[in-house]
Amino acid sequence: MKKTAILFLFSLAILFAYAQEKPAAYVVSKEYNLWNFQKGDTAYVFADMAYIRDYPDSKSKLIDSLPEGATVLIASEGYNGNKIRGFYAPWYKITYLKDNRKKEGFIWLGLLALHSIQNEDGEQFIYGFKKFKSATEDEASYYDAEIKVFDREKKCIARATYQASVDGQTGTETKILAGMGLKNIKNIHRSAFLGEACGIATQYYYFAWNGQNLIRFPDKMSVADASVFYHEETILFPSEHKGDQTMIYKKIVEAENSNENLNDEPQYKETKSQINYTWDGTTLSQVLTMK
């Protein structure tokens, strides 16, 4: 009898300690993030493998895993937050189907794709962050980003990495363009990180898709600071410039306000330049010009 009582008290002590370690309520994360998911939104696993936990914290119990491309439903607002892979993001409760059963758990937001879009053939394009690299004396900070393509059976058939210059942007968007008059190109995928404040650049990243491979195409960006300067880049594909079908043009306009009194109407002095690229059906090359 005495032994049974001791075991009972020992079990109660373990349960009490566990309860003390695990907060009774989740802490809502009020910080803005680029994913900007709302309850009820559909999202997709970006990481090669995403772990699902029983509580919104990296130290909580692992209860399941989901492969890249898996579909989940956002079932809560953001909670807590952890810095993983070099960047901070909250946790969300999700629901999903696995083995014909509805399941739920918590996922760290950085494991989900920022956006998803399909082309006319039902091929799905997603992109997200792999990790964050802090700035050094020689290099600005950036995210190691990746774009992935999935076929109708949710098999990843192509992927490509790139460095995304994200610092202060307030949103993202994605778009699928047609072949834009380029030989052997089915689609062009464009992702954007949107800068909506003065001095914060909007960055666009282009990848051409030939049905088998993703090919990095020229980026573009725009940035402005009211009454001080602006910088605008434009990409023109053959279907837009109506000229040589092998050429892509990147037009750049830089301007500074030459009026020393910033309270007066700005008088911008513009400088224009252009970078030319050639596409032979398989390879993109920059055309070098002699000065």
> What is the distance, to the nearest Å, from the Cα of residue 287 to the centroid of all Cα atoms in its chain?
30
Is 178 found in the same domain as 102? no
Tally the domains of the chain: 2
pLDDT at 262: 61
Is 242 found in the same domain as 138? yes
Is 152 found in the same domain as 119? yes
Is residue 126 within 8 Å of residue 107, measured between CB atoms?
A: no
pLDDT at 263: 65
Is 249 found in the same domain as 188? yes
pLDDT at 12: 44
Residues 6+ apart with CB under 8 A from 220: 204, 206, 233, 234, 235, 250
Is 225 found in the same domain as 107? no
pLDDT at 14: 41
- pLDDT profile of the chain (291 residues), mean per 10: 46 43 64 90 98 94 97 95 93 96 97 97 97 91 96 97 91 95 98 88 97 97 89 97 97 88 77 97 90 62
Is 80 found in the same domain as 41? yes
Name the residue range of residue 97's domain. 27-111
pLDDT at 80: 86
End-to-end Cα spacing for the chain: 97
- State the CATH number of the domain containing residue 76: 2.30.30
pLDDT at 34: 92
Q: Is residue 20 part of a domain?
A: no
**Of the residues 111, 127, 152, which one is the last residue of a structural domain?**
111
